[in-house]
Copies of this chain bind each other. A is one copy, B any other.
């Protein structure tokens, strides 16, 4: 891949008309405000205490140390060598990020064909629904002796994941007896929560039982792909050091203080302008690639959870010079662009007519992979 290009020509008024696009003058006028917010973010995020408290620790993930990556890689290799099936239990970011990465990094029909898999384990995603239907079919067909279960919940309280885990846990215990803990890997908060407590209480002196990885403090679920998601990629045989190097490269571009050279900042500022001033209530993210459909699903979560807000936010600086961000319950806003995942060319045969002929209240972001 050649890196990421960002072509916003069709968001300009000279291409789509004044009623729907942004003018060059308007772009120049929003840049200073966007940069002001951005510089503030850069400043406060230098302090790890701020990053943790404000949920910004994901900004540090591209800079993880080699030792951390090596530990994850080894655990992944070990799981891949010893199991022929791995069930991941997780929901939200603990599911969408994994699915997006697996599909994007290119394994169509991965579970179906041994040769596509290159001998690595089949991967199943469960625990992302309270519908018991798929899980019960899956457990009835798998052999617990060759199955590893990775349970992911930061808080240890995620209902779907924990409920599903208790079923899978029983299934392993019944089938395997005392050694069942060797089939379980837990990814959770390093300190608190029911999963962490359980790990602590299972001090069996068996280092292969209930192995675990920490979910870093200050990394929200939807931003955690480059944290816990790396174990999944290591099991698939993806070079996670290369993945992190790519994330680092992209992070550098998106940390630029030059507005016109920072694709993330420009994209955010223009989308925000079109939302507020041009009535674009809907953002459609449409990759023209089968393998990026689940990236679009992940995008939907990122936007909906990050921008859908009832209240305005107030920022306070505490005595220790750290910030807190609080909802200002006196100012009800009910804001947030509504994100939609789509996939070309398929969806040209489904939603396209409404996009083109229906209400002019949408921005479509097309994504194309260059060879």
| Residues of chain A having any CB pair with chain B under 8 Å | 91-92, 95-96, 106, 108-109, 111-113, 115-116, 122, 128-131, 133-134, 137-138, 141, 158-160, 221-222, 281-282, 288-291, 297, 300-301, 303-305, 307-310, 334-336, 338-340, 343-346, 349-362
Contacts and interface: CB of A to CB of B under 8 A. Distances in A.
Given A109-B138, A289-B131, A291-B133, A308 B353 contact: yes
Given A290-B131, A358-B334, A92 B137 contact: no
Copies of this chain: 2
Contacts of A310: 356-358
A339 B341 CA distance: 11
Contacts of A338: 282, 340, 354, 358-359, 361-362
B281 A346 contact: no
Contact of A359 (B281, B291, B305, B356): B281
Contact of A308 (B91, B95, B160, B358): B358
Contacts of A133: 106, 108, 289-291
B281 A361 contact: yes
Contacts of A91: 345-346, 349
Given A357-B308, A358-B336, A301 B351 contact: yes
Given A282-B338, A357-B308, A361-B281, A108 B137 contact: yes
B354 A307 contact: yes
Contacts of A300: 350-351
A160 B109 contact: no
A80 to B, nearest CB: 19
Contacts of A336: 354, 357-359
Given A111-B112, A160-B345, A350 B134 contact: no
Nearest to A92: B349
Q: Ordered nearest first, which 7 A-B pairs have the shortest CB separation?
A: A308-B354, A336-B358, A92-B349, A301-B350, A308-B358, A304-B354, A310-B357
Contacts of A134: 108-109, 290-291
Contacts of A346: 91, 95, 128-129, 160
A95 B348 CA distance: 13
A337 B7 CA distance: 28
B138 A108 contact: yes
A344 B362 CA distance: 25
